[in-house]
A and B are shown apart, each in its own frame.
Chain A
Amino acid sequence: MTVHVSPPDAALDPAPLLSIARVSRFYGERIGCADVSFELWPGEVLGIVGESGSGKSTLLRCLAGIDRPDAGEVLFRGSGQPLDIYSVAEQERRRLMRTAWGIVHQNPRDGLRMDVSAGGNVGERLMDRGDRHYGQIRERALDWLARVEIAGERMDDRPRQFSGGMQQRLQIARVLVSEPKLVFMDEPTGGLDVSVQARLLDLLRVLVRDLGLAAIIVTHDLAVARLLTDRLMVMKDGHVVEQGLTDQVLDDPHHAYTQLLTSAVLSV
């Protein structure tokens, strides 16, 4: 038997990146999400699945600092002490949202500056982070456009001149260029054709693996969850009804709702 030299691995990380405790969010009488708790460790990719209206986007917005939960806490541990992201000042939370983690929106228009060039969209994030050297910013922006398979000659075009799939890839470059440790994605392949989806998924899979990113991905597509995620959380009516390793949850679902969900598709 060969001796395996393992790379620095997640099991050795001393603490979770994100600790969620009893997070709830209500819209008046209606439950958005209720009593959600979990931990996310560096490099882990968590999927959130469930039917329309089950609270996936609501939960993601609470985790990503966009919507303040009505109860519970969201602790983020960058370097140093864990930080309750809703107890820090608004300005500090905004800074974290731009630098420590990234958000990929389902609709690229929500994540891109439509009136700024492709290169500008990517470069802007480096400037937010404090980079000032113009030549280096341009070079990194070009490098990232190439990584998401956008030709360098399109650098000065505006996003509105791009197809939906290209806009989505540009949004991903804009989010990843600042090297966040954690990325939130809400239906990242949502509005795209199947063939465009496959390409984007492959890109995401490789980036997540090569960068050792932790990610939380909301999707209604179990095949996407199977391909991209390590762990899965199943939501129904705002509650988490089942969670575990992705292949466990999909292959040996225990909850009635998860069994319904997995039997509704031909093969995942």
Chain B
Amino acid sequence: MTTMIHVENVAKTFTLHNQGGVRLPVFDAVNFSVAAGEALVLAGASGAGKSSLLRILYGNYRPTSGHIHITHAGRAIDIVAAVPRTVLDIRRRTLGFVSQFLRVIPRVSALDIVRDPVLARGMSPEQATARAQAMLARLNLPERLWNLAPATFSGGEQQRVNIARSFVDPSPIMLIDEPTASLDATNRDVVVELIAEARQNGAAIVGIFHDEAVRSQVATRYLDITDFRKAA
């Protein structure tokens, strides 16, 4: 199996300069790999650093030390050391991040939000539209909302747009942070299916799920972040 993520000696400490320079050690010496077709679920108590680790994998937080090799277009690239345009290229083609909330862009319709990533990857507008519509339908978003901007949608509706955007064309690596928190049981099951399908099609998944049932349906492996807690 192809290794998609290789984490080497990653540590993270936050330094809060405006609060007396207090240092918040989160984890240290994190080492693991994730292969294509695997779903690694991050476990650990609230505040253990699960989201921080996921954000570091995405190149959003910067680790205090260590390397993260992402397999991008057949090559392993250290996202920690990569220049911004390389990170953006990795995100466009290889790394997807599914957050807990949709970041609403003023005046952009739900359909356009979902179509956008596939258009950016070069799919024809007709094909992209058809895909986006199918995904919104699958997540039970009422058709009357498709052409509206999600600013006025409910939390669950916004989150389904967010998930549709992420899964309309799953990336080779999917990083997922609590995607089902604001969803009802029916839609939660759709999300579990979408994750399973992406994985079966070869995606490498790293996810955080509070819901025990969802967690056990998704996981092929667990990693407890608490094991890397820095000896303070």
Q: Which residues of A contact B (CB under 8 A)?
A: 1-2, 4-7, 9-11, 41, 44, 198-199, 201-202, 205, 227, 230-231, 244-245, 247-248, 251-252, 254-256, 259-260, 263
User: Known contacts being A6-B122, A230-B88, is A252 close to B60, with CB within 8 Å?
Assistant: yes
Contact of B86 with A11 in the complex, beta carbons under 8 Å:
yes
Contact of B172 with A1 in the complex, beta carbons under 8 Å:
yes
The count of chain B contact residues (Cβ–Cβ below 8 Å) is 31
Cβ contact of A231, chosen from B62, B84, B92, cutoff 8 A: B84
B contact residues around A260 at 8 Å (CB): 17-18
- Of B101-109, B158-166, B183-191, B220-228, the one contacting chain A is B101-109
Least Cβ distance of B104 to chain A in Å?
Answer: 10
B contact residues around A244 at 8 Å (CB): 62, 84
Given contacts A230-B84, A245-B87, list 19 more A-B pairs with CB under 8 A.
A1-B172, A1-B202, A6-B92, A10-B85, A10-B88, A11-B85, A11-B86, A44-B85, A201-B106, A202-B105, A202-B106, A245-B84, A245-B88, A248-B61, A251-B60, A252-B14, A252-B55, A254-B62, A260-B18
Of all A-B residue pairs in the complex, the 8 with the closest CB atoms, nearest first, are: A256-B17, A11-B89, A252-B61, A198-B106, A202-B107, A5-B122, A1-B202, A4-B121
A contact residues around B59 at 8 Å (CB): 245, 248
Contact of A6 with B121 in the complex, beta carbons under 8 Å:
yes
User: Known contacts being A1-B202, A5-B122, is A205 close to B92, with CB within 8 Å?
Assistant: no
Number of residue pairs across A and B with beta carbons under 8 Å?
76
B93, CB-defined interface residue at 8 Å: yes
A10, closest chain B residue (CB): B85
A247 CA to B93 CA, complexed, in Å:
18
A2 CA to B93 CA, complexed, in Å:
11
A contact residues around B65 at 8 Å (CB): none
A234 CA to B228 CA, complexed, in Å:
33
User: Known contacts being A9-B89, A202-B106, A251-B55, is A1 close to B61, with CB within 8 Å?
Assistant: no
B201, CB-defined interface residue at 8 Å: yes
B169, closest chain A residue (CB): A2
A1 CA to B107 CA, complexed, in Å:
32
